[in-house]
Amino acid sequence: MAEYKKTENAKAELTCTLEGEEWQKAKDAAFKKLAAKVEIKGFRKGQAPKSLVSKYISSNEILLEAAEALAQEALNKAIDEHDVTLIDRPELKIDDLNDDKCVMTFVCPVLPDVKIGDYKKIKYKKDDVKVEDKEIDDQIADLLDRKADLELKEDGEVEDGDTTVIDYEGFLDGVAFEGGKGENYDLVIGSHSFIPGFEEQLIGMKAEETKDIDVTFPADYHAEDLKGKAAKFTVTVHEIKKKVLPELNDEFVKELKYENVNTVEELKNFTRENITKRKESDAENKAENDLMDKLAEMTEVEIPEVMVKSELDSMIQNYEQRMMQQGFSLAQFLQITNQTIDQLRESMKEDAVKRIKINLGLSEIAKKEKVEVNDEDIDAEFKKLSDMYGIETEEVKKYVPESTLKDDIRLQKTLDLLKK
């Protein structure tokens, strides 16, 4: 049996007493472990008689070795016995250590005390969703634009919306600068992919025409040596291509190969359904975020710094993964945005604190409402993850601890309860 005592906010003590047969066995095992390392002249290592080896091993060494061997098991039992959630590594103190017993106390960083207001008054209100005909027309127009062909202009000038193939070279005070040169570059006029004023000055140029254009780099440009600088670019237009939109008819719709969508009318209905689903999802997310904002406001808690650090570590890791999906490393992102990792963490701190308050608030409500997670809930969630990632359930279990999944399910069930 272990004793549990809350000492202060986010700190508790678990005191374990090891004695009797358990303690005797631990001491015997400790002696054997230490004896195996003793070298005595005339005997092979670990083969000397116990009576002789005892002279080379102090009783204090045996007691400390036995205590260390039992510490983790004692902690695990005490945690289970008192349902303690650790938020950081505990500190071990030996209160009493002799041949008869070992008394050890674990000073544990635990979840802080939470006070929550009348959460039953929180309203979950989702905005009504409406889809206008113009939204459907705009989305289909965008689809036509993406399916458009580019037709070479034999004659004529660059117009807004045209795609140009250009060579360009930039100069500062007559000297070419690094990264300011490109050849056979496809530039869509009006895409705003170049610095302000560049694309607009190409309008009116003809194929194989060369022109000098003057621009000024923005004050917040990512390259420090170019910020706010006036530059001259020499640009040659090699080709001009205009966009030719396909005709919106049933034949075009069939070429899209959308399931059960073969006519213009069916395409409009299909588009309406997709826009409705997206708006429904946005409305649900907004209503859920509003609910959690209110929950955070009524949750009073003194959050330990270690919890903030852990949440920030997780947020940075997720942020880095999203960057990698976009082809960036975190280091590149920091360089482009001209900030340090500490500055990025600081900018995320307020959001991290808010997330922790929401999770602690939901956990407190889960206790009050006795929200339970059963085996069926866990199996269903593992199956959901299995379908999502296309791997066997047993494989998912290797990467997702059941305890973590159980906590996530409990919080989601509590959130669903609040919505009702």
Joined tokens for residue 344 = 């990025």
Q: What is the CATH number of domain 149-244?
A: 3.10.50.40
3-state secondary structure of 340: coil
> How far apart are the two ends of the chain, measured CA to CA in Å?
41
In CATH, the architecture of 2-110 is 2-Layer Sandwich (3.30)
Q: What is the pTM of this model?
A: 0.70
CB-based contact 93:7 (threshold 8 Å): no
Q: How distant, in Å, are the alpha carbons of 85, 100, 331 from that of 14? A: 12, 20, 43
- Work out the number of other CB atoms within 10 angstroms of the CB of residue 386: 16
pLDDT tens digits, the chain, 420 residues: what are they? 799 999 988 999 999 999 999 999 999 999 888 888 777 776 666 666 666 767 778 889 999 999 999 999 999 999 999 989 999 999 999 999 999 999 999 999 999 999 999 999 999 999 999 999 999 999 999 999 999 999 999 888 999 999 999 999 999 999 999 989 999 999 999 999 999 999 999 999 999 999 999 999 999 898 888 999 999 999 999 999 999 999 999 999 999 999 999 999 999 999 999 999 999 999 999 999 999 999 999 999 999 999 999 999 999 999 999 989 888 898 998 888 889 999 999 999 999 999 999 999 999 999 999 999 999 999 999 999 999 988 998 888 888 888 889 999 999 999 999 998
Q: Per-domain residue ranges for the chain?
A: 2-110, 121-147+249-298, 149-244, 299-419
CATH superfamily of 299-419: Trigger factor, C-terminal domain (1.10.3120.10)
Please tell me if the domain spanning 2-110 has the same topology as the one spanning 299-419.
no
